Amino acid sequence: MRFDVLTLFPEMVDGCCGFSILKRAIDKDILSVNTVNPRDFTIDKHKKVDDTPYGGGAGMVLMAQPYVDAYESVERCENSLTVMLSPQGEPLTDKIVNEFAEFDQIVMLCGHYEGFDERIREIIKPREISIGDFVLTGGELPALCLIDAVSRKIEGTLGKIESADEDSFSNGLIEYPHYTKPREYRGLAVPEVLLNGNHKEIAEFRLQESLKRTKAKRPDLYEKYNQKKANK
């Protein structure tokens, strides 16, 4: 999987990809993360990439020319997807993450300031993705969320691909509780069913715990899960 990130702050992306699971996957050539700075493509002698909005208003708008030229400089493979990180986009879900993991390349556009000149959307025609109903300073943090989430679905990134299969939301439910050593801590013991080695009983326990947690914490997901089961 190859990620190409158009950003005015490549250090943010490069820095976060230099640790933990992402770094190991990059070192093994399972993933590659490349940054492209639109500032390198501006024709403005002062290296400007933004300007005041037509019609007035607060903030600065990212200019079309540097972003479109930067985007067109990226070599794209046949199985490629372009994503714009934007609070206007469709909410990122595990279902979308699984869909994105089927691509060989994802090109991401990170905004800043007041947002993109609309002609960037009209020319590039990206798929817009949001990580929530709130506004951040720039698109770099959402881009990193997307990189991390998609990378977990790529075989070889995690120790076992089952690790991603058992994450919260992978089956429409919140994940079951986890325990490790010691068996008892401050009077709280590990449930006996997890110690008996009966895999069928363990699986059933974990399913029931997932259902219980989902019902309590995310009743919307619980309702969707039950509707899906009823329609099968």
Active-site amino acid positions: 87, 114, 152, 167
CB 156 within 8 A of CB 30: yes
Pairing of strands 188-189, 184-185: antiparallel
Residue 74, CA distances (Å) to 37, 139, 168, 210 in order? 11, 18, 34, 43
- Asked if residues 108 and 138 have their Cβ atoms less than 8 Å apart, the reply is no
Output the CA angle 209-21-197, nearest 5 degrees: 35
CA distance 50 to 6: 15
Q: Whole-angstrom Cα distance, residue 13 to residue 192?
A: 44
CA distances from 153 to 35, 102, 204, 210 (A): 21, 9, 24, 21
